Structure formats: structure tokens, C-alpha cells
Structure 1
């Protein structure tokens, strides 16, 4: 999205961040409403800009602490995350792992996977896959919107089967 920002909005991410820095808002929704209403941005670009701007609020948050907080009250899901994280990191030395408040993003040249504990009983694995149909457990992106093209719901470690690992590997290869 960042690559298309200037073409679609007329401003760079740095310019948008400077605009938001002048606003009195505290909440994500307030920034979103401003960007959509006052600046005429689409939901996707408003959300992207807001997320990037608010990352600065997190400062130098400890990545491990962010992951720990994601799984508070969802401890039964942590083994699924640990398994996915180990596999995703093993795909290559070029994998950039970026824990956020609600999810962990995996990138090479672009994001290819997102691991999010969405409920107390389910992790949503978001994948960015080109030309792969939505079928079976490989669903539409759901809560991820434009960040991912597909989602796999995982309730237990056995749900991370060979098919899921193959989809992850394909997403990684397509992102290179």
C-alpha cells in the first residue's frame, strides 16, 4: 500500500504522518474518521496511514512483550503461534518479523503472512496469495481487509497441516 500511496492520495506516508501529528486525536477511530471525512481517503488507505502513524505511539515497545500481551487470556493458543512463528522464520533469513499490538506480521519485500489471536479459541492466519481461489478452509480475508487476501482459522495445532504450511510457503515465495 505504501508504494501506491502517492499515486492514490497525492502524499507520501511521511506527509500524512505530519498531517496526523497536528491533530488532537487519541483513538484509531478518530484518525480514521478524519482521514476518510476531511481528507476523502478510502477506508483501506485511512487505516494503513493510521496504523503506520500510531506505530510511533508504541515507541520501542518490546516485541516479545507485545506477543505476550496478545496471548493473555488466550494461553491455549500460544503453542499454535509458536509453531507458526518457528515455521515462518525458517522460510528464509530475509523474513522480517514485526509484532504489533494485535498481531504479528511477516514480510519479505511485502507482507505475506499475519498471525492474530482473534478470539480465545481461534487464531486467524492471514495470507497474501496471488491467483489462489478461496475454497475449503482457505477463506476470504475476513477481518484483515486488504492486508491479506486469504484467511485460515486455526483452533488447534493439528489445524496447521501440510496444506496450510504449503500455502504459507507459496505466500512467502510470491512476496519475494
Structure 2
């Protein structure tokens, strides 16, 4: 039984390491996806920003308001479209700044408060890779250790519940 437990512990440790070293890669790919969506939204706004600079001192909200008050249904709907692009751009800019603020925030955002469509794209297109930088190695080792300890504790608990206690024989003195 000890041999089986040793192998299970090793399997859990290496499984944890393999999963753990994927986490920094996922966070990196999420950051790159976030940056590319932001760059695309910047390009989408360029022409409208030029209009806002020429006519409204660069104020996008005034440009959007002008479109909405034009009295022409097409321009009014265009104002709605510009606002959607503008709000998306502001969201991506804020999220990207938060992501780049520090590594802990990057990890927290990628897993707990992501831009949903960016995270979904990264999940769907995730390319499993082994990054052997110090952060990935450390994250993998810690993940492997935690998984093997938790797994062993669960296996010992299960064994204690299922298996009868070992009989103890008394030795004569």
C-alpha cells in the first residue's frame, strides 16, 4: 500500500506541476488578447476621434450627442454605434491598465474579473505550452506541492474511513 501511495503522490505532484506551469501561459495569452482587442478598438475609433477633434475639441461624448440629436435616423443610430465602440474602448483601456499594473492583478483579472469575450477566446484558442521562466517554474512547483499534499490528505482520510484500523499486537515484556 505504501508503494501505491508513493506513486499516487508522484502522479499528483507531476500533474500539479504540469497544470501549474500552464497558468502563467494562460495569463500571458489573456494579456496579449486584451492588448490586441484594445488596439483594434483604437483603430475603430480613429476616424471618429478625428471628427471629435475637428468639431468638438476632442470630446467624444459631444460628438456622440451631436449624432443622436441630428434628426436623421441613420445618424442617430450611428451615434449609438459610436458610443458602443467608445465604451468598449474605455473598458478595454481600463482593463489593460489594471492588467499591466502588477502580476497579481494580471492573474486575478485573467481568472476572476476578465473581459468575458477575451477570456472565452483565450480559453477556446489556448495553446498549451511549457514556459520555463522562473515564474512558471515556481507556480508549477507550488501547484504540484499543494495538489500532492491535498491529494494525500484526501486519500488518507478515505483510507481511514474505508479500511479497518490496523490491529495492534502486544509484545510481552
Q: TM-score, normalised by structure 1?
A: 0.25
Select the structure of larger CA radius of gyration.
2
Higher helix proportion (structure 1 or 2): 2
TM-score normalized by the length of structure 2: 0.25
Q: Which protein is richer in strand relative to its size?
A: 1
Between the two structures, name the one with larger relative contact order (CA 8 Å, sep ≥ 6): 2
